[in-house]
Amino acid sequence: MDSTLVLYNSLNGKKETFKSILPNHVGMYVCGPTVYSNVHLGNCRTFISFDLIFRYLQHLGYKVRYVRNITDAGHLENDADEGEDRIAKKARLESIEPMEVVQRYTVDFRDTMAQFNALVPSIEPTATGHIVEQIELIKEIIEQGYAYEVNGSVYFDVIKFNKDIPYGKLSGRNIEDLIHNTRTLDGQSDKKNPQDFALWKKAEPVHIMRWPSPWSEGFPGWHLECTAMSTKYLGSQFDIHGGGMDLKFPHHECEIAQAESIHKKSPVNYWLHANMLTLNGKKMAKSTGNNILPGEMFSGENSIFKKAFSPMTVRFFILQAHYRSIVDLSESALEASEKGFQRLIDGISKLERLPIGDKTSDFDLVKWKNKCYAAMNDDFNSPLLIAHLFDAVKYINAVDNGLQQINKDDLKDLSKLINDFFFDVLGLLNEDDNNKENGGVQLDGALNLILELRNKARASKDFETSDLIRDSLSELNIQINDTSEGTTFKIN
């Protein structure tokens, strides 16, 4: 089996063989949510994609330090360092403390990702918890000559930086084009150049979230937190940095510039970006109403879809597309994923009771295993892995129907491989098992009540009602047994 892992590196637009900086260890940083509202499905798509990557790296035997931040300050309403802080604005509109906003939507984010069965990161740091580190980082950038202070705010000097180290290498934008396509400053800005970005902003009197610094009472720039936290927990150079495609410019571009201005080397070896999720062929946007929250999908309480879709159906739907491709959310696509997911679950559930043959298996298990690994080793190609899982289930059904054979050793190996790929790598769950586990006590109680009513009907010689209960339960594959010691039931 070829175990060479190949990643698509956004930094050069090519697939490259993955080689970690430290043998058997991976440092991975992913830009997390800004917690000022309920997490939307587009964000979830990104985090499910990197959950897949995290899981597969661990499956290959790497010890992974996965850092995913929580942005709880510094993210203004637009990328031009203007407007209100998104969290502070929400707090002002609702007349609550900013940290109440942060707490509410951080809990929502974590609960939602848990419903999607996403693994918890190794470290989940917050921007407000690393103000000191961000201030120290600004001091270093100033010392290197790539930042300047004006009226209590500090800006990164993109033009000066570009003279020494090229700016725009990730997004493919050169500084001349940026200058040409940027409007001239109106004289009210403190920036030397429109391309410069804030490292520290002096807080206006109305700005709620503020901290003391050598320059003013203010708050850090949005791009700074990720550089501060990634270098603190992963070092000045680490393996993988991920996020949504929309963060390439300016966020990730600015991260690179900040790190290179101090360390004079590329901070990340492999940049990975998940593509966007659209809804019914259009971009998701709260302003147009073309938007749906995960909870609204799970409950069915929305005006977009006719029915509810479970977290595992949505996760399976997302993983059926490659993480770098645009995927469109629609009712027909979700229904197809729901049927496909159930077909896999039904097939996998037959593994425990498959008839074992004594002849050679009618399935080349080694070849199938190699194809599964080849799919995932090719830039985490989950849709191709899922296609191979369907092939395995087709074979399982044939064995179950007596059309093909599987021997004892191959059944054991196939069961382990399917468990590895379906449950551990893809992170999918058998929701039927969960429902039985969570609802078992309630179901037993309800059935015992029904049997008590049936016994009363029999005692009063109301055999019509008694037989109706028995026959109705039988149609639901619930078998009733009347014995001298009482009545019991068995779910077939």
Chain segment 196-243, per-residue pLDDT in tens: 999 999 999 888 899 999 999 999 999 999 999 999 999 999 999 999
pLDDT at 422: 98
The span from the first CA to the last CA of the chain, in angstroms, equals: 41
| pLDDT, mean of residues 293-311 | 95
SS3 483: strand
Asked whether the bond before 250 is cis by omega within 30 degrees of 0, the reply is yes
Place 359 in a pLDDT band, splitting at 50, 70 and 90.
confident
Distance of CA 482 to the CA centre of its chain: 51
The residue type of 445 is: G
d(CA 276, CA 9): 17
pLDDT at 432: 77
> Could you give the percent of the chain with pLDDT greater than 90?
75
pLDDT at 287: 64
SS3 491: strand
The pair of structure tokens assigned to 103 is: 């707490």
Length of the chain: 492
User: Which one-letter DSSP state was computed for residue 214?
Assistant: S
Mean of the per-residue pLDDT values of the chain: 91
| pLDDT, mean of residues 367-379 | 98
With beta carbons less than 8 A apart as the criterion, state whether 127 and 70 touch: yes
With beta carbons less than 8 A apart as the criterion, state whether 54 and 66 touch: yes
Place 298 in a pLDDT band, splitting at 50, 70 and 90.
very high
Name the E strands within 318-417.
327-329
Place 258 in a pLDDT band, splitting at 50, 70 and 90.
very high
Instruction: Using DSSP bridges, classify how beta strands 478-483 and 486-491 pair: parallel, antiparallel or unpaired.
Output: antiparallel
pLDDT at 468: 86
| pLDDT, mean of residues 152-156 | 97
pLDDT at 177: 72
Is residue 184 scored above 60 in pLDDT? no
pLDDT at 476: 77
Is residue 41 scored above 80 in pLDDT? yes
Place 477 in a pLDDT band, splitting at 50, 70 and 90.
low
Is residue 70 scored above 70 in pLDDT? yes
Q: Give the max Cα distance, the chain.
A: 96
Residues 6+ apart with CB under 8 A from 171: 248, 249, 252, 253
- Of the candidates 146, 112, 145, the one whose C-alpha atom is nearest the C-alpha of residue 41 is 112
Is residue 286 scored above 80 in pLDDT? no
DSSP for 97-117, please give it. -HHHHHHHHHHHHHHHHHHTT
pLDDT at 175: 84
pLDDT at 2: 65
Give the tens place of pLDDT for each residue, 113-144.
Answer: 999 999 999 999 999 999 999 999 999 999 99
- Cα dist. 412→356, 365, 481 in Å? 11, 11, 35
DSSP for 406-447, please give it. --HHHHHHHHHHHIIIIIIIS----HHHHHHHHHHHHHHHHH
Give the tens place of pLDDT for each residue, 5-40.
Answer: 999 999 999 999 999 999 999 999 999 999 999 998
Q: In what order do the strands lie in the sheet with 327-329?
A: 282-283, 277-279, 327-329
- Of the candidates 370, 385, 365, the one whose C-alpha atom is nearest the C-alpha of residue 1 is 370
Is residue 188 scored above 60 in pLDDT? no
H or E, element range at 64: strand 63-68
**Rg for the chain (alpha carbons), in Å?**
28
